[in-house]
C-alpha cells in the first residue's frame, strides 16, 4: 500500500524558514495537500493541489511537489505556526495521510 | 462558508456498532463534493476511514472496509458512518469533512470532531 513519510519533528527559530517534507513513491505524479492542526482543534487545510493556498491562509505558507517529495515551506515562521502538520495524497481510490510532523518554534 | 457537525454517542462498549451522523450546512451535499470520515486516536495521527459521493458511491480504507458502512441522505443534507464490532482500538476523535472531487481529493472544511470512547 502507498505510504507517505514525514519527519516526526522539525524545529525553527521565529522569523526563520521552516521546511516540512513528505516522501512517497512518485509523489510528484499526484497532488499533495497539507493540513495544520493545533492542540484540541480540527485540522485546517493550508495547501492543496501542491501549491495553492485556500482563502485566509497567510502567504508565508507555500508548497511544492516534485519527484518523490512534497514540501511545505513556512517563511518568516511565527509562534502561532507551532502545530502538527500532515500531508495527504490520493492513490488508487484511497486517501493517504502522512504520519504528521510536529513543528516547534523556539 | 461550509459547516459540518458530527453527532453520535461518546461512549460505547466493545462489540457494539458505532453510528455517527454529519450534518452539513451552507452548501448542498449534492453539489459535487464528497463527504469524508477521518479519525484520530488520542495522541496519534489522522486516519482516513472512507468517503461518499452524493450518488452513493463510496471509497473506504482497506483496513476498515469490512466493518464500515457509509451512507448519504441528500434530503437531509447529511451523511453517516457505521462501524461495527468496535474495540478499544477504535477510541478516537471522529471528524467529518467536505472533500473535493478530483484533483487531489483534499478536505477543505472539517467538523469540530467528536470523541468516541470504547470501554467496558
The predicted-structure confidence for B3-62, as pLDDT tens digits, reads as follows: 999 999 999 999 999 999 999 999 998 888 999 999 999 999 999 999 999 899 999 999
- State residue B38's pLDDT score: 98
3 state DSSP class of B65: helix
Reference A88, options B73, B100, B84, B80; nearest CA is B100
- State residue B104's pLDDT score: 83
Residues of chain B positioned with their CB less than 8 A from the CB of A54: 108
Query: How far is the C-alpha of A8 from the C-alpha of A6, rounded, in Å?
Result: 6
- State residue A22's pLDDT score: 98
CB contact under 8 A, A32 and B104: yes
Q: What is the pLDDT of residues B90-114, one digit of tens each?
A: 999 999 999 998 788 999 999 999 9
Query: How far is the C-alpha of B119 from the C-alpha of A59, rounded, in Å?
Result: 44
Cα A16 to its chain centre, rounded Å, is: 17
Inform me whether the pLDDT recorded for B84 exceeds 90.
yes
Query: How far is the C-alpha of A37 from the C-alpha of A43, rounded, in Å?
Result: 4
- State residue A46's pLDDT score: 98
Residues of chain A positioned with their CB less than 8 A from the CB of B34: none
B35 in contact with chain A, both atoms CB, cutoff 8 A: no
Residue B62 has its nearest CB partner, among A32, A88, A94, at A94
Kindly give the parts of chain A with pLDDT less than 70: none
Do the beta carbons of residue A104 and residue A14 sit within 8 Å?
Answer: no
- For the beta carbon of residue A69, count every other beta carbon within 10 angstroms: 16
- State residue B102's pLDDT score: 78
- A1: closest chain B residue by CA: B62
Q: What is the pLDDT of residues A6-22, one digit of tens each?
A: 999 999 999 999 999 99
Do the beta carbons of residue A73 and residue A62 sit within 8 Å?
Answer: yes
Amino acid at each position: 500500500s502507498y505510504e507517505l513519510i514525514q519527519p516526526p519533528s522539525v524545529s525553527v527559530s521565529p522569523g526563520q524558514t521552516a521546511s516540512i517534507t513528505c516522501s512517497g513513491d512518485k509523489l510528484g505524479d499526484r497532488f499533495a495537500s497539507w493540513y495544520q492542526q493545533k492542540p484540541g482543534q480540527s485540522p485546517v487545510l493550508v495547501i492543496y493541489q501542491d501549491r495553492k493556498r485556500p482563502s485566509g491562509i497567510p502567504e508565508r505558507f507555500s508548497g511544492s511537489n516534485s519527484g518523490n517529495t512534497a514540501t511545505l515551506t513556512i517563511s518568516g515562521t511565527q509562534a502561532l505556526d507551532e502545530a502538527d502538520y500532515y500531508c495527504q495524497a490520493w492513490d488508487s481510490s484511497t486517501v493517504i495521510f502522512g504520519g504528521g510532523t510536529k513543528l516547534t518554534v523556539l | 462558508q461550509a459547516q459540518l457537525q458530527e453527532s453520535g454517542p461518546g461512549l460505547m462498549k466493545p462489540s457494539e456498532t458505532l453510528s455517527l451522523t454529519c450534518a452539513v450546512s451552507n452548501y448542498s451535499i449534492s453539489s459535487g463534493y464528497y463527504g469524508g470520515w477521518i479519525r484520530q486516536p488520542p495522541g496519534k495521527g489522522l486516519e482516513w476511514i472512507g468517503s461518499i459521493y452524493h450518488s452513493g458511491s463510496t471509497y473506504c480504507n482497506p483496513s476498515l472496509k469490512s466493518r464500515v458502512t457509509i451512507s448519504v441522505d441528500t434530503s437531509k443534507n447529511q451523511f453517516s458512518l457505521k462501524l461495527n464490532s468496535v474495540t478499544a482500538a477504535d477510541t478516537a476523535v471522529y471528524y467529518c469533512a467536505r472533500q473535493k472531487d478530483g484533483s487531489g481529493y483534499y478536505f477543505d472544511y472539517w467538523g469540530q470532531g467528536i470523541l468516541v470512547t470504547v470501554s467496558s
